[in-house]
């Protein structure tokens, strides 16, 4: 727990103090890191704590982004659109969750893929969303530093919410559902209700991040915010970092952002970050199922064992 607090303190200091020391290019990179932290940590609430592997979280990013752009184009202050974006993401999470949470295991995951792709196709064919061409934000309302702090605070808030939930009865109920849903229900835990609550809370955070995404890039399209590759990236980050932990999604988000930034700088490798990250996922699943956090804990244990005297060994010179 102390180690997790230290990591969170480092994250907070880096994100909040960076504008005082870093240039615009570095701040852009840190914005991407904060965005990834929100997505990975929010997904971890449902996928890590409750064990429900959803592959359709890009739908919440897109709903938040389109809500912000549409309302901003209608004359709203972009910052006032964020609560609406979160509310619509929550509403959609409930509408989707009521039927899909009746499914278990891979059937639930497959259903979420279908939902995400259906939303993308619908958005591509609607006139008010701009179709496949997308929409632009009113450029006069954009201030990068304000947007940067908004995403940084949202990232820290998301991690803080995950830490709080994990220590409450709600978090313990989600853990019971992950371990054995039938046993949890036998103990009186309403699994569908708790999964819906976790889904809604994570959707609100991701929807808000989608609104900030639209404000930052000033342009969105169905291919950018409803992309299945984005949903896949959201799942990969906590798994590689350490699913079901607090620090794991943050580490996975930092690693993913770093790889993406470096690979985007190379035209020949621009579209290969998912391939490389998928290779990392295979290595994790084969050799360390608990991700980077599990690897670190194993190294710490090995270090402690190496420093202990062997039982029965002679001591002294």
Predicted confidence (pLDDT) per residue in 262-309, tens digit: 776 776 666 666 677 777 778 777 777 777 887 777 777 777 777 665
Whole-prediction pTM value? Answer: 0.90
Number of residues written out for the chain: 317
10 or 111: which leads in pLDDT = 111
More confidently predicted of 140 and 46:
46
Measured distance between the N- and C-terminal CA atoms of the chain, rounded to whole angstroms: 38
d(CA 238, CA 248): 6
What's the confidence (pLDDT) of residue 221? 92
d(CA 61, CA 207): 5
pLDDT of residue 269: 66
pLDDT over threshold 70, residue 311: no
CA dist 288 and 294 (Å) reads 7
Task: Report the mean per-residue pLDDT for the chain.
Answer: 87
Does 3 score more than 90 pLDDT? no
pLDDT of residue 310: 43
Alpha-carbon span 151 to 82, nearest angstrom = 12
pLDDT tens-place string over residues 209-238? 999 999 999 899 998 899 888 998 899 999
Average pLDDT estimate for 75-102: 94
The rounded distance, in Å, linking the Cα atoms of 278 and 298 is 23
Residue 126, pLDDT score: 87
The token duo for 44 is: 């971890």
pLDDT at 63: 96
- Phi, psi for residue 135 in degrees, rounded to 5: -135, 160
pLDDT of residue 273: 66
């Amino acid at each position: 727990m102390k180690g997790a607090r230290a990591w969170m303190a480092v994250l907070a200091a880096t994100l909040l103090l960076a504008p005082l020391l870093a240039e615009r290019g570095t701040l852009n990179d840190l914005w991407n890191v904060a965005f990834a932290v929100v997505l990975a940590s929010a997904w971890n609430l449902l996928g890590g704590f409750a064990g429900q592997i959803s592959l359709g979280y890009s739908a919440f990013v897109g709903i938040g982004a389109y809500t912000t752009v549409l309302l901003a184009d209608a004359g709203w202050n972009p910052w006032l659109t964020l609560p609406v974006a979160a509310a619509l993401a929550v509403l959609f999470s409930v509408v989707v969750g009521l039927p899909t949470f009746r499914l278990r295991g891979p059937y639930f995951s497959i259903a979420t893929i279908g939902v995400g792709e259906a939303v993308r196709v619908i958005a591509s064919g609607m006139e008010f969303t701009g179709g496949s061409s997308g929409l632009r934000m009113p450029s006069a309302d954009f201030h990068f530093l304000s947007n940067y702090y908004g995403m940084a605070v949202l990232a820290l808030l998301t991690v803080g919410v995950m830490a709080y939930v994990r220590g409450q009865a709600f978090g313990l109920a989600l853990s019971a559902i992950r371990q054995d849903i039938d046993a949890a229900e036998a103990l009186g835990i309403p699994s569908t209700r708790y999964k819906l609550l976790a889904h809604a809370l994570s959707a609100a955070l991701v929807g808000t991040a989608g609104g900030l995404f639209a404000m930052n890039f000033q342009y969105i399209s169905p291919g950018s915010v409803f992309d299945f590759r984005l949903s896949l990236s959201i799942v990969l980050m906590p798994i590689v970092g350490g699913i079901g932990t607090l620090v794991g999604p943050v580490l996975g988000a930092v690693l993913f952002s770093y790889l993406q930034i470096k690979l985007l700088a190379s035209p020949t490798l621009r579209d290969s970050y998912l391939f490389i990250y998928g290779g990392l996922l295979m290595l994790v699943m084969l050799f360390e199922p608990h991700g980077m956090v599990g690897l670190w804990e194993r190294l710490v244990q090995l270090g402690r064992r190496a420093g202990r005297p062997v039982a029965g060994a002679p001591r002294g010179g």
